[in-house]
């Protein structure tokens, strides 16, 4: 079985986008995103693809797979593979990967080998479908989430129209009460909060606000 991850950036109140863009500038997060996803296929919706500045797409060192209802079958376009559905994207990711990471001979695994075979990188509807399903072709379900959290100072809350998926976190006993459509998760690593030297959060007026960030990794229970 191949291993699927999802990666996103959100404010502490769950905002991941506003008006088709991200209301922040976060160089540390961009570097982290590249480090985590490099070498693995990345799956995204059309709007996420279009939100990437043309000079940066396709994302280098990764098979770019774009989901769009405008195509009836897989086709190459602008350096990316366009497919009509999430299922088609996952089959394409499987074919691009070859052997799953877990099947890679130990002597060929290096620090540069991604621990996840493919990553979902947006947008909201793609995250929602992927996280809620347990029958994803070749992958089964999303097993890993990598997210960057931004802290908004009181009075400088960042608003938006797209929210991150809600993840239910396990209690101290390692279980979740009740059921959640996106499963039960545990935090496996979390960096200390840092103040970005060059990054900032943009409020609706365009004012740049200080940015504090933390990288968090979660695994499904």
pLDDT, tens only, 69-92? 999 999 999 999 999 999 999 999
**pLDDT at residue 103, rounded to an integer:** 57
Q: Mean pLDDT over residues 179-208, rounded?
A: 92
Q: What residues contact 52, with CB distance under 8 A and at least 6 apart?
A: 59
From the CB of residue 77, how many other CB atoms can be counted at a distance below 10 Å?
Answer: 11
pLDDT, tens only, 97-127? 987 766 544 444 443 333 899 999 999 999 9
CA distances to 2, 88, 121, 122 from 5, in Å: 10, 17, 9, 11
- CA-nearest of 199, 34, 198, 195 to 121 is 34
101 by DSSP, 3-state: which? Answer: helix
pLDDT, tens only, 129-175? 999 999 999 999 999 999 999 987 766 678 888 899 999 999 988 88
**pLDDT at residue 109, rounded to an integer:** 40
**pLDDT at residue 101, rounded to an integer:** 64
The rounded percent of the chain whose pLDDT value lies above 70 is: 92
Q: How confident is the model at residue 57 (pLDDT cuts 50, 70, 90)?
A: very high
pLDDT of 15 over the 50 cut = yes
Q: How confident is the model at residue 8 (pLDDT cuts 50, 70, 90)?
A: very high
- Report phi then psi at 143, rounded to 5: -105, -25
24 by DSSP, 3-state: which? Answer: strand
**pLDDT at residue 115, rounded to an integer:** 80
Residue-range domains of the chain with CATH? 4-220 (3.40.430.10)
Q: Whole-angstrom Cα distance, residue 123 to residue 101?
A: 25
CA distances to 6, 50, 131, 132, 176 from 167, in Å: 12, 27, 9, 11, 11
Q: What is the pTM of this model?
A: 0.91
96 by DSSP, 3-state: which? Answer: helix
**pLDDT at residue 98, rounded to an integer:** 85
190: β partners:
216
Q: How confident is the model at residue 21 (pLDDT cuts 50, 70, 90)?
A: confident
Q: Mean pLDDT over residues 22-48, rounded?
A: 96
Give exposure, 99-129, as e/b (b: 16+ Cβ within 10 Å). Answer: eeeeeeeeeeeeeeebebbbbbbbbbebbeb
Q: Whole-angstrom Cα distance, residue 111 to residue 117?
A: 14
**pLDDT at residue 141, rounded to an integer:** 97
**pLDDT at residue 140, rounded to an integer:** 97
Q: Mean pLDDT over residues 184-205, rounded?
A: 94
Contact 92, 41 (CB under 8 A): yes
pLDDT, tens only, 87-97? 999 999 999 99
pLDDT of 58 over the 90 cut = yes
**pLDDT at residue 160, rounded to an integer:** 87
Q: Whole-angstrom Cα distance, residue 50 to residue 68?
A: 11
């Amino acid at each position: 079985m191949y291993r699927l991850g999802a990666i996103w950036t959100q404010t502490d109140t769950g905002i991941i986008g506003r008006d088709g863009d991200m209301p922040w500038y976060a160089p540390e997060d961009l570097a982290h995103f590249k480090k985590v996803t490099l070498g693995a296929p990345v799956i995204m919706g059309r709007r996420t693809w279009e939100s990437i500045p043309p000079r940066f797409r396709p994302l280098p060192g990764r098979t770019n797979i774009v989901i769009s209802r405008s195509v009836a079958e897989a086709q190459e376009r602008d350096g990316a593979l366009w497919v009509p559905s999430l299922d088609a994207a996952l089959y394409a990711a499987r074919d691009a990967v070859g052997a799953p990471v877990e099947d890679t001979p130990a002597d060929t695994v290096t620090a540069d080998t991604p621990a996840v075979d493919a990553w979902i990188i947006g947008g909201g509807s793609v995250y929602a479908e992927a996280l809620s399903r347990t029958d994803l072709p070749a992958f089964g379900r999303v097993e890993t989430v990598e997210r960057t959290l931004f802290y908004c100072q009181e009075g400088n809350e960042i608003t938006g129209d797209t929210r991150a998926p809600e993840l239910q976190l396990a209690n101290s006993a390692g279980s979740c009460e009740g059921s959640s459509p996106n499963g039960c998760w545990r935090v496996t690593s979390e960096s200390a909060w840092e103040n970005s030297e060059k990054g900032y959060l943009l409020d609706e007026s365009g004012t740049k606000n200080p940015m504090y960030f933390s990288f968090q990794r979660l695994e499904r229970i």
